[in-house]
Structure 1
Amino acid sequence: MTERSVTAGLSEELRPEGLRRQERLLEQLGLEDKVALLTGETAFTLPGNDTIGLAPLAFSDGPTGVRGLKFIGGDPVALFPNATLISGSWDDDIAEEVGRMLSEEAHRQKIHVVLGPTINLHRTPLGGRLFEAYSEDPYLTGRSAAAYVRGMQANGTAACLKHLVANESETLRNFVDSRLSETALREVYLLPFEMAVDDAGAWSMMAAYNDINGVTATEQDHVQNDIVKSEWAWDGLIMSDWFATKRTVESANGGLDLVMPGPEGPWGERLFAAVRRGDVSEATVDEHLARLLLLAERTGGLRPASGEETNGFKTGMPAPDSPERKEQLRRIASRGMVLLKNEGDVLPLSEEGPLALLGRHAIATQAMGGGSAQVNPPYVSTIAEALTDRVGERLTVLDGVGVRKRPVPALTGFVTDPVTGEQGMRVTYLNAEGAEIASRHEDGAAITVGWDDDFSEMPTAVIFAARLGNHAGAVWLGGIGVGTWTISTDAGVLGQRNLPITGFDPAEAMLRPPSYTEAFELPAGAVVSVRLDFAPVDWAAKLAGNPALNLSEESHLLTTGSFGSVALVAQQDARTDEEAIAAAEEAACAAGTAVVVVGLTEEDETEMSDKQTLALPGRQDELVLRVAATATRTVVVVNAATPVLMPWLDDVDAVLIAGLPGQEGGNAVADVLTGAEEPTGRLVTSYPTADGASPAWNVTPGPDFGLEYTDGTAIGYRGYHAGNAPAPLFWFGHGLGYGSWEYGSARLLPPEAGGGAVVEVDITNTGTRASRETVQLYFLPAEEGQPVRLAGYAGSRVETGETAAVRVGCDGRLFRRWDEAENAWKPLNDGELIIARGLGDVRARLPLG
């Protein structure tokens, strides 16, 4: 076993001959105390140590909001626009502002480390977790990430780059082996991490679930030690993704610094024993702990050398529903929205005449994706509410077709606590003997069990009690969660169903639990009792049944225990899809102008699950086509972060991509539709014309769990440009805004120090209003086999009729290639610079070299 000393891979700041406060602190601790600090104490906290002045550190999920220490519920927190809207602004100032705002949210909740940004790439449009990540392009991703990190860490909160590395799909995510060349690894998938380290000094990273070329991410000596810590001279900390660590010695020697969550895990006593055996050197443990102490020092969690008590958290932060926060979230969401089509300038909407607003997403606007990115916002502005506020009685609002396969938790307006009468439900927790552990009111209809409980013993059953709303007739009742569900009233048992775990991911019970519903005829105001008896899963036996998974008994996956998300389902009957479409046709015909809102839900854009198609769920495409056939003008708003198919594109007048716009989403969309704000966003991912028509598509590993990255470095638009797939429906970088642009002369200027080429181009706003343009600069190397790549961009706001000279500097890291034979970078000096509004709208070309 290769031993690494405490100095291996460390920058001068951490080396013993430097200012080494960390080393002096380590001398005060015995091995057992050191090891104890390298595994989480709870789901989202680390233990402290009074001897060295180390406070307990708190982590929180954070890509779209700083949720805090509770997975479900908890205090309300600000819900941000999703990552594609942040990067979709193509504006470093926006990304940096988001980082600063998230840090303020962290300070308000006493969080040291925010688990974000997610900087994996949109390799295939089927990826379920793409909504958390910025783009298909490594440079746009890295630049957005660096700005985000700067904003966050300048305010004293640590960012955590995730997930290291080649973690672009969710199918069998704990076991998939991402197989890619060293060239693709270096040039594409590591580039965003490298940029966030070099340009922003990120303080932590998270190792992924997947394997990379046969070695699991938490044991990746090549990536973690050789590249990140040594080549990049990075002094930050690498933590595991939650339950991702599979072996003790290999992960400790492979560069992992911290195992999460706790208190169970593969380190602890096993790591202590490994050091005693000589399989892991104590110097390696010291390196891990030195990095942890530096992280604590940077975030205010380590007492300074003076011995003074310190509290690194700032006070007076804006509330999540404060006017300041509302303005920020609304503006940021609108800036990232992308106008794909606008025939006849149908947008902004006319200030006169009737309008019809149609679709389920109009009245239940999807503000966020699923999984660990979910937060508990103080409110969510819907498009229906916001547009009604703008145009008043001119607007007719109608629900649309169904958009989900699974039921959702009961609406709090439909269920009340039968004990207190408050909106929500009564939850009673039982132990193995059937005795009551606790009984309490819950504001919502969903809880977690076994994850962030404060019970002295683990519940084995929960009972949801709820009084139904004043509705007589058919009611759908059931639950979401693993185990046996029993539905009862005073009259006795109405129904029962067992819901087992179906896959190989221990997080299924938390992130994608099964569901059950059944229709019952009940009187108005009936009180129902819905009981869930948990069915603990023996993960050791389940996973051992598939030897290809190659899990040791040390795997953290086997210590996950019984936990999960559970919820009460109680719904009234709704009208049929056909009735909804017919009503929409009638309203569209009467109004003349129809706005149809379609999209995806957290079933589609979520952690732990990939999509199978880019088609909109249900009969949404049919809704659009039939409305477009009757309306005079049709605007489609797509409430989704990732590409969808558009079989109706030629039949509608305008298409706006609204993403997952956060708690101010409805207001932001209404601002854009009415012209109060311009949708200045540009696409961050190419939209294919059909399922399968993209350079990379498959997300399902083979029988040996291998997933081949056959697209190499020609990811996304690079592959389309190379002819590896049919031309996309819309290119990466496309976006119209409310201006029109004429490009004049383009000039090649002397390169900036340490950078690449610099281009200056004249742009004229030929539209009728002030507008923002994003000038994109691509580099097409002359060397055979090298794909085109985005190398720089700059935005400029220009008044109508005015001309601006926009200077775009290229990033030198895009003018190199990895030479596998020599294991080194080689320059790319010759080729062509392409000035464009996306590669589907090229405006000028300049030779280089």
Structure 2
Amino acid sequence: MKHKEIIDKMSLEEKIAFCSGKSFWQTKDFSKYGIPSLFLSDGPHGLRKQVGENDHLGLNGSVRTTCFPTASAASATWDLELIEEMGNAIGKEAVKEEVNVVLGPGVNMKRSPICGRNFEYFSEDPFLSGKLGSAWIQGVQSNGVGTSLKHFALNNQELKRMSTDVLVDERALREYYLTAFEMAVKESKPTTVMCAYNKIDGIYCSDNKRLLWDILREEWGFDGAVVTDWGATNDRVEGFKAGLDLEMPGSKGRFDKEVKEAVESGILDESYIDKAVDRLLELIDRTTNTDKSIVDEDIHLKNHQLARKVAAAGGVLLKNEDKILPLKKDMNVTVIGELAKTPRYQGTGSSLVTPTKLNSLLDGISEYTKKINFAPGYTLGDYDNDDLIKEAVEKAKGCDKLILCIGLTDIYESESFDREHMRIPNNQMKLLKNLLNVNKDIIVVLVGGSAIEMPWADNVKSILHMQLSGQAGGLAAADLLFGKENPSGKLTETYPYKYEDVVNSSYFIKNPKLGDYLESMYCGYRYFETTEKEVRYPFGYGLSYTEFKYSDIDIRILDKYEIEVTATIQNIGDFDGAEVAQLYVAPQTHGAYRPVKELKGFNKVNLKKGEINKVSFKLDKRSFAIYSLDKGDWIVEEGKYYIQIGASCKDIRLEQVVELKGEKPVKSDCSEWYYSLKGIPTKKDFVTIYGEYPEYVPQTRGCYDMTSSIKEMKETSLVNKIMYKAMEKTIAKTNGGKVDYTNSRFRMIMDSASDNPMKSMPLFSPESMSVELAEFFVDTANGHMIKGLKKILKRSKSK
């Protein structure tokens, strides 16, 4: 051990305590050993450093820092250098604010478009997410600041995220859900990895030795520290055995006694604790040597402009009929939509940043023309207001250019709960319908952090999708509308025609405590391309004001699986611009089931009007490999593979075949569904690739345990129903006194509190919810109130 000298001086109690947080955001310090405290802060798209009241949901205030575009918007840049630059800027702000570890990035897969936290994740594709995550980490850590790759692993829903048990077959786990984490660990060496709340195959991530030790450390070579998501600790003794180093935010010593007893009884070897302490001391070494001189005095001004640059590069032009865009300066424009005045620029929850400044779409447009006619058209709450619609319609009649800003409001996307559908609010749809009656030339500026149904897309002239574009997003949108910037963003997730087209739509979160991933790795374009099902906008799609010509694909085999691919891209349009050339590998081996194609390379190239340039890609064994269950390793099946280069997964411009040596292709012994993808997969299909598993049994009176929540138990318990109502009233007091489930803040807090497993309640509020009180609610729900009361009385007497 590197820090053996210090560890030998520490008592067992001190070592155990060191592996648990000192406060909500800080680790423990031991001055007598020269051990300082570390400050950890939320921050995938900007720091959320709290210095007053603390929370893990973005409820209380935080210091002002730059709010960059969220991951869903930043990823649409497909620009690794720009993402690294953004990470570097966040790292410098961390140095300024004396933050040691920034909690990000999130590289979880977008298994379903209605996961409430998709705005915080990069993509539905693991290769793209892995590359973007690596670039972000490298940028942040270049300043001597740490990062925390999250949420490891399979945190793909918000409902019951603290207790759901994920059942996934091994190939989907390896080839789809873990790949982005593996790439980021190997390519960028994050200082920490954050384990998720959920279970995998019946074992909580915080206790999961296979996940945290066998795969993360032994296979991937991770040498940093593993930290829990806030309150994700399940069994601290098993956590030490699994390789969990730091419990956050700390449990006020709740687990320390049982860990010490486990060591003294021989259940837990003290060496596990020593190794965890050693890794935490190394984390301190890696993150406490920053130099404040690297921070410019005008850092926030510079970063505001960088946020504008990232947002512009990530803006996706989905439609531009009759080349209605770009607009001309100083022209008359009518702008409709409350979101143009009151921007939605980030998601709700733990990533909520207090921006240094904020520019709306109206602010941006005013830089190009002062001839603006504005009407709100709708309220941010989804309520009908015919007067607002009437005013907007009057202003839309006969106007020169009509810009309509619509999209998802706060209640539609948030941490702690999932979306109910993929539509924009009804009042916005009603407004659009009325506007189309008087003006067909509508330019839509769309906002929202995840995929949206657009049945209205065929009826408008242009759609510029800004997603959640950060504090300077309004300026960036105007830059794109008026042609200062040429749109170059590409979608990083599929936009289906309707939610029902998604393969897992009929069973996603239907049994939230048992997440059976029946579809295996067939998510997003992997499903839609393999089934040839049409979508509204495919993965990788995005238009430009110019056009690009692809030619001259060339393939050089450097070694057995080391291949270099080049192609020529020419800007043949009328504007300077940038194109994202995407490389897909399409296997023709007819062996194991697999998607018809997968992204294995991309290259963003800037080209002036008429300019020609080459793009190059490097492929290796993993570009062609699948995970062999028999060998427990990656193999390449012998046969032909098409190398495809295009502007999206559907718009393939160049193709060439290579023939590779390898393992003899063998058809998988599984249900035919995984080859045909006809219909919806069933549990009967799933057991052929996963094996037998326990059926989900809804908890009822007599069967509740500490993984149950107040929300579940109130259905059969009067005491828990009273507690639930008390929670509503208490939380309502922080939201104007009203119980309002259409308020995103109220719903997020309420869902998080009432649906929290009872085992976790004492971790978040040990002063108001003891372990005994939590057990009382469970005992009462099971019909054993007296038993629960005796535990509380026993604790009171022992004090």
TM-score of the aligned structures, taking structure 1 as reference length: 0.74
In structure 2, how many angstroms separate the alpha carbons of the residues matched to 1:114 and 1:805? 37
Deviation at 1:577, TM superposition (A): 2.1
Give the equivalent residue in structure 1 for 2:543: 736
Deviates more, 1:275-284 or 1:692-701: 692-701
In structure 2, how many angstroms separate the alpha carbons of the residues matched to 1:78 and 1:65? 6
Match of 1:252 among 240, 246, 252: 240
**Structure 2 residue 91 is the aligned partner of structure 1 residue 284:** no
CA contact (8 A) 1:340 1:657 kept: yes
Partner SS for 2:110: coil
**Structure 2 residue 106 is the aligned partner of structure 1 residue 128:** no
**Structure 2 residue 632 is the aligned partner of structure 1 residue 651:** no
One-letter identity of the residue aligned with 1:764: Q
Give the equivalent residue in structure 2 for 1:676: 484
In structure 1, how many angstroms separate the alpha carbons of the residues matched to 2:29 and 2:81? 36
**Structure 2 residue 157 is the aligned partner of structure 1 residue 347:** no
Note closer, same or farther for the CA distance 1:263–1:218 as it changes in structure 2 (3 Å cut): closer
Give the equivalent residue in structure 2 for 1:613: 421
CA contact (8 A) 1:356 1:587 kept: yes
**Structure 2 residue 61 is the aligned partner of structure 1 residue 61:** no
In structure 1, how many angstroms separate the alpha carbons of the residues matched to 2:106 and 2:512? 27
Match of 2:628 among 816, 819, 826: 819
Partner SS for 2:318: strand
Give the equivalent residue in structure 2 for 1:419: none
**Structure 2 residue 80 is the aligned partner of structure 1 residue 92:** yes
One-letter identity of the residue aligned with 2:610: G
Following superposition of structure 1 onto structure 2, how do residues 446-485 of structure 1 map, counting pairs within 5 Å?
none
1:47-77 deviation per Cα after TM superposition (whole angstroms, max 9, x unaligned): 1112332110000001121111345223211
In structure 2, how many angstroms separate the alpha carbons of the residues matched to 1:192 and 1:98? 19
Match of 2:304 among 322, 326, 333: 326
**Structure 2 residue 450 is the aligned partner of structure 1 residue 642:** yes
Partner SS for 1:831: strand
Identity of aligned residues (%): 30
Following superposition of structure 1 onto structure 2, how do residues 639-718 of structure 1 map, counting pairs within 5 Å?
639-697=447-505, 700-701=508-509, 703=511, 705-718=513-526
Match of 1:212 among 179, 200, 219: 200
Give the equivalent residue in structure 2 for 1:26: 7
Deviation at 1:776, TM superposition (A): 0.3
Deviation at 1:697, TM superposition (A): 2.8
Q: Whose RCO is larger (CA < 8 A, sep 6+)?
A: 1
Match of 1:159 among 147, 153, 169: 147
Where structure 1 has 5 or more consecutive residues not aligned to the other structure, the ranges are 1-15, 301-310, 406-574
Give the equivalent residue in structure 2 for 1:110: 98
CA contact (8 A) 1:78 1:321 kept: no
In structure 2, how many angstroms separate the alpha carbons of the residues matched to 1:230 and 1:587? 64
**Structure 2 residue 374 is the aligned partner of structure 1 residue 397:** yes
Partner SS for 2:263: helix
1:367-397 deviation per Cα after TM superposition (whole angstroms, max 9, x unaligned): 11000010111221111122123210x2111
Give the equivalent residue in structure 2 for 1:239: 227
In structure 1, how many angstroms separate the alpha carbons of the residues matched to 2:476 and 2:258? 52
Match of 1:593 among 394, 401, 404: 401
Give the equivalent residue in structure 2 for 1:786: 594
In structure 1, how many angstroms separate the alpha carbons of the residues matched to 2:255 and 2:213? 19
Note closer, same or farther for the CA distance 1:657–1:66 as it changes in structure 2 (3 Å cut): same
CA contact (8 A) 1:700 1:707 kept: yes
Give the equivalent residue in structure 2 for 1:795: 604
Q: Number of aligned pairs?
A: 648
In structure 1, how many angstroms separate the alpha carbons of the residues matched to 2:390 and 2:184? 51
**Structure 2 residue 344 is the aligned partner of structure 1 residue 366:** yes
In structure 1, how many angstroms separate the alpha carbons of the residues matched to 2:373 and 2:627? 58
Following superposition of structure 1 onto structure 2, how do residues 143-542 of structure 1 map, counting pairs within 5 Å?
143-264=131-252, 266-300=254-288, 312-315=290-293, 317-318=295-296, 322-351=300-329, 353-392=331-370, 394-404=371-381
Partner SS for 2:221: coil
Deviation at 1:249, TM superposition (A): 2.0
1:316-360 deviation per Cα after TM superposition (whole angstroms, max 9, x unaligned): 624687431221111111101111111111111133642111111
One-letter identity of the residue aligned with 1:631: N
One-letter identity of the residue aligned with 2:565: V
In structure 2, how many angstroms separate the alpha carbons of the residues matched to 1:703 and 1:576? 34
Deviation at 1:190, TM superposition (A): 0.9
Give the equivalent residue in structure 1 for 2:762: none
CA contact (8 A) 2:330 2:368 kept: no
One-letter identity of the residue aligned with 1:127: C
Note closer, same or farther for the CA distance 1:322–1:385 as it changes in structure 2 (3 Å cut): same
Following superposition of structure 1 onto structure 2, how do residues 716-795 of structure 1 map, counting pairs within 5 Å?
716-723=524-531, 726-751=533-558, 756-784=562-590, 785-787=593-595, 788-795=597-604
CA contact (8 A) 2:621 2:636 kept: no
Deviation at 1:823, TM superposition (A): 1.6
TM-score of the aligned structures, taking structure 2 as reference length: 0.79
Partner SS for 2:193: strand
CA contact (8 A) 1:593 1:631 kept: no
CA contact (8 A) 1:588 1:630 kept: yes
1:736-767 deviation per Cα after TM superposition (whole angstroms, max 9, x unaligned): 1222112122111234x797432211122111
CA contact (8 A) 2:440 2:461 kept: no
In structure 1, how many angstroms separate the alpha carbons of the residues matched to 2:598 and 2:209? 29
In structure 2, how many angstroms separate the alpha carbons of the residues matched to 1:262 and 1:821? 41
Give the equivalent residue in structure 2 for 1:804: 613
Deviation at 1:832, TM superposition (A): 1.0
CA contact (8 A) 2:423 2:452 kept: yes
In structure 2, how many angstroms separate the alpha carbons of the residues matched to 1:221 and 1:101? 35
Where structure 2 has 5 or more consecutive residues not aligned to the other structure, the ranges are 55-59, 660-799
In structure 2, how many angstroms separate the alpha carbons of the residues matched to 1:814 and 1:255? 30
In structure 2, how many angstroms separate the alpha carbons of the residues matched to 1:61 and 1:704? 26
Please tell me the root mean square deviation across aligned C-alpha atoms, in Å. 1.9
In structure 2, how many angstroms separate the alpha carbons of the residues matched to 1:32 and 1:739? 66
In structure 2, how many angstroms separate the alpha carbons of the residues matched to 1:319 and 1:673? 32
CA contact (8 A) 1:818 1:826 kept: yes
CA contact (8 A) 1:76 1:320 kept: no
Match of 2:128 among 128, 140, 145: 140
One-letter identity of the residue aligned with 1:400: G
1:494-553 deviation per Cα after TM superposition (whole angstroms, max 9, x unaligned): xxxxxxxxxxxxxxxxxxxxxxxxxxxxxxxxxxxxxxxxxxxxxxxxxxxxxxxxxxxx
One-letter identity of the residue aligned with 2:109: L
